[in-house]
Chain A
Amino acid sequence: MKRYILGRLTVVPILLIGIVTVAFCVSRLIPSDPLASIVGERQMNNEEIVNAAKQRWGLDKSVPRQYVLYLENLVRGDLGTSFRTKQSVVADLGERIPATLELAVAAMLFGGLGGVVLGAVSASKKNKPADHISRIFSLVGSSLPVFWTGLALLFLLYARLGWFPGPGRLPPRTRPPDHVTGLYTVDALLAGNPKLALQTLHRLLLPAFVLGWAIMGSVSRLVRASMLDELHADYVRTARAKGLRNATVMRVHVLRNAMLPVLTILGFAFASLLTGAVLTETIFEWNGVGSYAVAATRSLDYPAINGVCLFGGLVFLLANLVTDLLYALADPKIRLS
C-alpha cells in the first residue's frame, strides 16, 4: 500500500506540470490581450502606459521566457501575482479554497448522503410509491439547472418568505471570525461564538442544498441500480435463508457491497464540487474558487487561470487517489499495485 501511494504521489508533479503547460499554452492562444484588463480600455492606445504595464507584469518577455519564469517560480511555490486582484495567487486561493471546501462538504452531505439514502429507499421499495417519489425528487434535482434552482429558492425562501438568509457567507454587519481554518462555521466555534456558527451554518444550507441536489440524482440512481444487482447475488439469498430480517440484509450486506461503485462517483462529485461550483458561488455570492476562476478567465488573468487549473488538477488527482485507496480498504480482494 505504501509503495502504491508513493508511486502515485511521484507522478503527481509530472501530471501537474502537464496541466500547467496546457493551461499556459491555451490561455496564450486566446486572441485577446490581458493588458486591456490591466490598463483599461481607454488607455490601450497610450503607448507609454501600455509599455509600463507590459514591463511591470512581465508581458514584454517572449512567451517561452514567460513559461520558463513561471515554472521557476512554481518550483518555489510562487504562482505569480494576479493581474486583477494584484495579490499573490497563492494568497487569493488561500482565501477562497476554505469557502469552496465548506460549501462542497455541505453539498456532499446533502447530495452524497441524500443520494445514498434515496437510492437505498428506492431499491428496497422497488416500484412502490416511496421508490417513485424518491426517484422523481432526485431526477428533478439533477434536471434543473443550478442557477435556476438557486435563484428560485432565493426568491422564494429569502426574498418572499424570509425563512433563509440572503446570499453571502456572513450576516450583514458581521465580521468574519478569527481565521484558523477559513471555514466560518468551524472558526466561529473555535472562537467560542456558537451563535455566529449557527448563523453561518444557516447561510450554508441553501447553497449546499442547491449544489447537493444536483448530484443527488446520479448518486441515488447508481445506488439503486447497484443494490438491485446485489439483491440477486447468492450471498443475499444465503443471508435471507439464514433467517436475517430484510432490513438487516439490505443495510448490512446489500448496501455496503453496492457502495463500491458509488465511491467512484462520490470521489469525482466531490472534486467537481470543489472546482466547478461556479454558478452556485455566483448566485449565492460565495467568494470561492469558482467565482475566482470565472473572473480570472473573463479578464484573461494568466497567473490566476494557471493557479486555478493547478488547483483543479491537484484536486482531481487527489480525489482519484483517495478513491483508489478507499476501494482497497472497502474490498480486500482489490490489490493495489
Chain B
Amino acid sequence: MRSSFMGSSTGRASGRGLVAALATVALIAASCGSDDDSSGGTTVVGDSSNTTAGVDSTPASAGGTDVRELVVARDMDVNSLDPARAYCDTCQIYLTAVYETLITVDPSDLSQQIPRLATSWEANDDNTVFTFALADATFADGSPVEAKDVKWSWERLSNVKASASYLMDGYSSIETPDEKTVVVTFEAPNSAFLPIVSAPYMGVSNSDEAIAQASALADETAETDDSAEPFFLENSLGSGPYQLESYTEGDALVLVRNDNYWNGTPQFPMVTIKQVKDSASQLQQLQAGDVDIAMQISLDSLSQIEGDPNLNVSTTDSYNFVYIAVSPGAQGPGGAELQDPMVREAIKLAVDYTGILDVTVAGNGKLQASPIPNGFDGSADLALPAQDLDKATALMAEAGLTDGFTLDAMYPKVNVYGVDFDVMMQKVQQDLKKINIEVNLQPVEFPQWIDAINAEGIPLTAVYFAPDHTDSSQYPGYFGMIDGSPWSVRAGGGAAGAPIVNEKEAPLLSKALASSGAAKTAAYTELGQEMINDLIFFPLVNPQLVLASQADVTGNLYSGCCNLDLSFVGIG
C-alpha cells in the first residue's frame, strides 16, 4: 500500500525535471550574457575629462535626431504626482520636466532667473505686486497656456493645504487682466516671490482639463473636497517637455516626450527614473551601462569611478546641509544645562568641524556659518565655525559644569547626502567628551524623531535640510527664533514647553522681504548672524554632490531649484 501511494513515474519525472531545469539554467545563462541588446545599446565611450557643473546650461534639443531612452538611477521619495500635493526631491525633478513654471533658475547660477512660461516679469517697488507676461506656450494637448491656468494652479496649490501650500502664503489676489497677463498681489512685501515662482511646486496645469477629467478643485473647498490625486498619479496635464507615461511606486517613473512641446523638441523619446535604493547599486549599474545617470553616488565611491573613460564624473557644491541643534527647553537629560548660553557656546566650540567633514564625506564638503547655506543670500560674510577646546573648557568651568553633564541625543537614523548620521554623531560624542559632556546617542526612525521633537524637544539632535526654492527667506522662516517657526517651538521644548523668540529676527525678515539687491543681502547677513548668536544650530557639513553619468550625457547639472532639470540633459 505505502509503496504505491505515489506512482514510480513521479520519481523519474523529478529526476528528468531536475536535469531539464539545470539545462535550462545553463541555456539561459549562455544565451543571456547581456540582455540589453534590444535596448539600443548603452555601451559608451568618449570624453574622459571631468567637467565642472554649470559649464553649459543650454536646454538640450533633439534637433531632429532621435536618441536612446534616458535612464536615471535614483532612490525615489515620491509622495505624490499631483502638482498641488507633490513635495519631495524626486517630485522636483518630475514637476520641472512636466509642469513648467513661469520662470526658472539657471543651474549654473542661483541668482540668474531665466524665462519659461513667462517672457517678462516685474515687481513693484515695495515687492507687493508681481506682474508676469506669458509666452505663446501650449500644453501637451495643444491648448494654449493662459493666465487663467496660472491663477487656477496657484490657487489650487494654496487651497489644498498640502505640504507646499505655504509657498503661496500671504497673497491677497491673483488677477488676470488678459489671457497673457498675471498679476499677483501680496498683503505684505515679499521679495521672495520671484525665486518662489521658480520652484517646481509652482508649475502650471491645464485647468480646463484638470476640472473636466479629474474634477480638480482650486477654490476654498479644495482642502476638503479635492480628490484629483489618483488622476494625477496616472496622467499629467502640463506644458513641459515630457509627459507622464506611467508610475509604479518602488519601481520606475516613466516619462515620454511631449510631441507638442512649444519650445523645441525634447531630446529623449522616453525618460525612466528607475528606483535604485543604494549608492553601491547605482554605481554598479552605471558602470555596467544599465543607467545613464546615477544621482546618489556616495562621496566614498568617488575614487572608484574617477578616471573611468566611459563615465563623466564630477563633484559640485550643493545647497544641502546637515546640522546639529540643541533645545534649551527640552525635557530630557541635558535640557536644563542647555539653558545657559555659555554651555551652548562651549558645545559649539568643542566640535571638531573639519574632522567631521573628513569622517563623513571624506573632506568633500564645506563648512557653513549659519543655517543659511553657502551660496545663498546672506551667507558670504559670516565667520565659519572652528574648534577651540580651551575656550570651550573655560566656558564650562564658568558655567559651573567642570565635571560635565549627560546630554540625550536622539536623531533620525538616516544616511543623507552621503552623510551617515551614526558616524557623524559618534564623532560629535567623542568631541563633547573632551569637555566632559556625556552624549547618550539614541538613533530612531524618522517618524519617531519628529514625534519626539515636536512633543517635548530633544536636548541634542541632528537633522538635514535641502532648499524648496532659491530665496533665503525659507531659512529664517524655519530656523529663526521667530514666533510660529518650527524651530522656535522645538528649541523651546516642543508642545510641552514655551517657544524661544529672538525679537530681532522677525523685523529683520520683514526688512529682507521688503528689500532688493544689496539691502536684501545685508538683511539676510544680519539674520544669519542672529541665528548664529541664538546658539541653537551648529551646521556641520555642506556636502558636495557627485554628478555621474555616461560619458556622452550632457547637461547633468545640479539645480538649486529643481535638483535635475531634464530639459538640459542631452546626448553629446
Q: A residues bordering B, Cβ < 8 Å?
A: 30-34, 36-46, 48-49, 51-53, 55-56, 84-87, 92, 95-96, 109, 113, 116-117, 151, 154-155, 158-159, 162-168, 171-174, 195, 198-199, 201-203, 205, 235, 239, 248, 251-253, 255-257, 282-283, 285, 287, 291-292, 295, 298-300, 330-332
Contacts and interface: CB of A to CB of B under 8 A. Distances in A.
Contacts of B29: 163-164, 202, 205
Given A235-B2, A239-B3, 11 more contacts: A39-B162, A40-B79, A45-B486, A49-B161, A165-B35, A166-B285, A172-B291, A205-B28, A252-B11, A253-B3, A292-B250
Given A48-B161, A203-B35, A32 B250 contact: no
A251 B11 CA distance: 6
Nearest to A252: B8
B71 A113 contact: no
A84 B229 CA distance: 12
B250 A295 contact: yes
Contacts of B79: 38, 40, 84, 86
Interface stretch (B56-64, B357-365, B444-452): B444-452
A165 B28 CA distance: 11
B5 A172 contact: no
B426 interface: no
Contacts of B38: 171, 173-174, 195
Nearest to A34: B447
Contacts of B39: 171-174
Contacts of B272: 172-173
Nearest to A114: B18
Nearest to B12: A251
Contacts, number: 191
Nearest to A203: B35
B230 interface: yes
A173 B68 contact: yes
A87 B166 CA distance: 25
B451 A32 contact: yes
Contacts of B21: 109, 113
Contacts of A164: 29
Interface in B176-225: 223-224
A38 B249 CA distance: 16
A45 B249 contact: no
Contacts of B18: 113, 117
Contacts of A154: 281, 284
Contacts of B386: none
| Chain A to chain B: the 9 pairs with minimum beta-carbon distance, closest first | A52-B161, A32-B447, A36-B450, A202-B32, A173-B39, A199-B35, A45-B486, A171-B35, A251-B11
Interface of B: 1-3, 5-6, 8, 10-12, 14, 17-18, 21, 25, 28-29, 31-36, 38-40, 42, 68-69, 71, 79-80, 87-88, 160-163, 165-166, 223-224, 229-230, 233, 248-251, 270, 272, 274-277, 280-281, 284-285, 287-288, 290-291, 445-448, 450-451, 454, 463, 478, 484-486, 489-490
A15 B38 CA distance: 49
A218 B527 CA distance: 65
Given A44-B486, A173-B71, A166 B284 contact: yes
A174 B42 CA distance: 13
Contacts of A86: 79-80, 229-230, 233
Contacts of B31: 198
Contacts of A48: 161
A183 B21 CA distance: 19
A223 to B, nearest CB: 12
A298 B445 CA distance: 7
B447 A159 contact: no
A63 B277 CA distance: 34
Nearest to A173: B39
Nearest to B88: A40
Nearest to B495: A45
A159 B12 CA distance: 39
A285 B485 CA distance: 39
A45 to B, nearest CB: 4
A154 B283 CA distance: 12
Contact of B162 (A52, A87, A159): A52
Contacts of A46: 166
B42 A330 contact: no
Contacts of B248: 95, 287
A32 B448 contact: yes
Contacts of A151: 280
Nearest to B254: A175
A42 B485 CA distance: 10
B35 A36 contact: no
Nearest to A196: B38
29 contacts: A32-B450, A34-B447, A40-B87, A41-B463, A43-B163, A48-B161, A52-B162, A52-B223, A85-B249, A96-B250, A109-B21, A158-B288, A159-B287, A162-B288, A164-B29, A165-B34, A166-B285, A171-B35, A171-B38, A172-B290, A174-B38, A198-B32, A235-B3, A252-B8, A282-B277, A291-B250, A298-B445, A298-B447, A299-B447
Given A173-B68, A330-B5, A166 B290 contact: yes
Contact of A42 (B10, B284, B478, B489): B478
A48 B229 CA distance: 20
A31 B276 contact: no
A35 B291 CA distance: 34
B35 A202 contact: yes
Nearest to A298: B445
B228 to A, nearest CB: 11
Contacts of A51: 161
Contact of A37 (B2, B12, B447): B447
Given A44-B454, A92-B249, A203-B35, A39 B163 contact: yes
A87 B14 CA distance: 43
Contacts of B33: 162-163
Contact of B288 (A52, A109, A166, A287): A166
Q: Among B3, B270, B280, find the residue whose CB has the most chain A CB atoms closer than 10 A.
A: B3
A151 B283 CA distance: 13
B486 A42 contact: yes
A173 B271 CA distance: 9
Contacts of A45: 454, 484-486, 489-490
A244 to B, nearest CB: 10
A233 B163 CA distance: 71
Nearest to B290: A172
A257 B32 contact: no
Contacts of B484: 45
Contacts of B287: 159
Contacts of B80: 86
Nearest to A250: B11
A208 B237 CA distance: 41
B11 A199 contact: no
A159 B285 CA distance: 8
A172 B163 contact: no
A110 to B, nearest CB: 9
A151 B278 CA distance: 12
A169 to B, nearest CB: 8
